[in-house]
Structure 1
Amino acid sequence: MTQLPNTAVDEARNQIVRVGTSLFARGYVHASAGNISAKVGDCHLITPTDAPLGFLDPRRLALVDVHGEQIAGDRASKTLALHRRIYAADPTARFIIHTHSTHLVALTLTGVWSQDDVLPPLTPYYVMKVGHVPHIPYHRPGDPRVADLVTARIVDRAAGGTPIRAVLLERLGPVVWGPDPTAALAVLEELEETARLWLQTDRRPEPLPAHAIDELRSAFRAAW
């Protein structure tokens, strides 16, 4: 295992706590639903199982080595395997957030737009900041089969030239990732707000036309 400087681990701990506090304060998470992780060297930091994200103690975050063995902190979240597989499948991923955000869970209950795209491309910022978001059928929390499904989606989309930054787990909410906390938060926030728009407008708005999406690809390299 790579020797990690204490400053890197401490900074990652503080980032996870700041993100958890922010998500809780703004209503993106509740109770102990959801989890957050960060990749530090070849190790992973992840919130403990059943930990309320709004009241995290940085010293109790689970530190896991490259082999998935826990070396510090409280018992790791039951979704550790999913987080580790996402990091392995997408080398750009350094920070992962999973929430049970209200409008996105509601979307899975009322019906997603399609299995490949849970929401239509309604706004330019959804196209630019979020992109394609596949739907993952329901499995119990922590089911290892979910990691296989998510990994397959990441690999397929990357091979097609439209890499993904998120998936939506049926009845459980979004899992989003990025190179840092700010990028991951931006995906989550735009995804949840677009779901709210879609549901509040009774799912009637037309998607952006093809020429508008082509313009976003050309001007901003939108991965759509």
Structure 2
Amino acid sequence: MTPESELRESIIAAGRSLFDRGLTHGSTGNISVRWNGNILVTPTGSNLGSLDPSRLSVIDPHGNHVQGGKPSKEAFLHAAVLRARPQAHAVVHTHSTHAAALSCLDGLNPADSLPPLTAYFAMRVGRLPLLPYHAPGDPALECLAETVAQENTALLLANHGPIVAGSNLQQALDAVEELEETAKLFFILNAHPTRPLTSQQVSAIRPSS
């Protein structure tokens, strides 16, 4: 199997894992990985549980379609985040239930929408800025996402869901799952006083941006 084939198969496995565990549903969510100067990304209208490796899209670093299936209408977001984070090689976007629910709440801190309830959230996600609502596929979000991603590995799209970058695909998957689990904790604990990590505790374990 060629390196490209292995990478395509890793995207298929990641999509199936996300779908089988209920982190995506229907044709929601998308995955991208850098490859050979371009970006492999899941095609439009895809169910992540049944991706075809031969139909994955290839876009250039500016989001232009190069070959393969028609890319997701949110592919430009993946390109924007990867431009902003040259050290990252993969991006995962989901509409996972608790993170999406969080994105719908009023009164969130737009600079950091989810408190660091656990050490693993602080290590794998860090801050979670909330970007204002844009319709799915709205190119007006591109510049904002690229700017905010320069200092953050994860973004929360208002009334939509999270988008997370990682140094590799597994790291991005781990981070998006940690985000979802922390959002779940947030709702479970909502009626109770919480004790998030202090800023000093977070600084001691948070990865550099």
Same fold, TM-score > 0.5, yes or no: yes
Q: Aligned partners of 2:19 and 2:46: how far apart in 1?
A: 12
> CA 1:66/1:108 → structure 2, altered by over 3 Å: closer, same or farther?
closer
1:161 corresponding residue in structure 2: none
1:107 corresponding residue in structure 2: 102
2:27 and 2:45 in contact (8 A); partners too: yes
2:67 corresponding residue in structure 1: 72
Which of 164, 169, 179 is the aligned partner of 1:176?
A: 164
Secondary structure at the aligned position of 1:117 is classed as coil
Residue 221 of structure 1: how far off its partner (Å): 5.0
1:3 corresponding residue in structure 2: none
Which of 25, 48, 52 is the aligned partner of 1:57?
A: 52
1:35 and 1:46 in contact (8 A); partners too: yes
Q: Which segments of 5 or more consecutive residues in structure 2 lack a partner in the other structure? A: none
Secondary structure at the aligned position of 1:110 is classed as coil
1:217 corresponding residue in structure 2: 203
1:14 corresponding residue in structure 2: 9
1:167 is the counterpart of 2:155: yes
The one-letter code of the counterpart of 1:21 is: R
1:90 is the counterpart of 2:85: yes
Residue 52 of structure 1: how far off its partner (Å): 0.5
2:119 and 2:197 in contact (8 A); partners too: no
- How far does the alpha carbon of each residue in 1:163-195 deviate from its partner, in whole angstroms, 9 at most, with x for none? x21100111100011111111011101100010
> CA 1:66/1:126 → structure 2, altered by over 3 Å: closer, same or farther?
closer
2:189 corresponding residue in structure 1: 201
- How far does the alpha carbon of each residue in 1:82-131 deviate from its partner, in whole angstroms, 9 at most, with x for none? 11111111101111111001001111222364101111111111111110
> CA 1:182/1:67 → structure 2, altered by over 3 Å: closer, same or farther?
closer
The CA RMSD over aligned residues, in Å, is 2.0
- How far does the alpha carbon of each residue in 1:137-176 deviate from its partner, in whole angstroms, 9 at most, with x for none? 1111111111111112123x3xxxxxx2110011110001
More helix per residue: 1
Residue 196 of structure 1: how far off its partner (Å): 0.4
Q: Aligned partners of 1:84 and 1:150: how far apart in 2?
A: 10
The one-letter code of the counterpart of 1:217 is: S
- Which is further off, 61-70 or 42-51? 61-70
> CA 1:191/1:203 → structure 2, altered by over 3 Å: closer, same or farther?
farther
1:120 and 1:207 in contact (8 A); partners too: no
Residue 15 of structure 1: how far off its partner (Å): 1.3
**Superposition pairs of residues 37-56 of structure 1, within 5 angstroms:** 37-56=32-51
Q: Aligned partners of 2:97 and 2:83: how far apart in 1?
A: 29
2:43 and 2:69 in contact (8 A); partners too: yes
1:24 and 1:54 in contact (8 A); partners too: yes
Residue 136 of structure 1: how far off its partner (Å): 0.8
Residue 69 of structure 1: how far off its partner (Å): 4.0
TM-score (norm 1): 0.86
- How far does the alpha carbon of each residue in 1:182-216 deviate from its partner, in whole angstroms, 9 at most, with x for none? 11011101100010011112253434353xx4245
Q: Aligned partners of 2:159 and 2:116: how far apart in 1?
A: 22
1:145 is the counterpart of 2:140: yes
TM-score (norm 2): 0.92
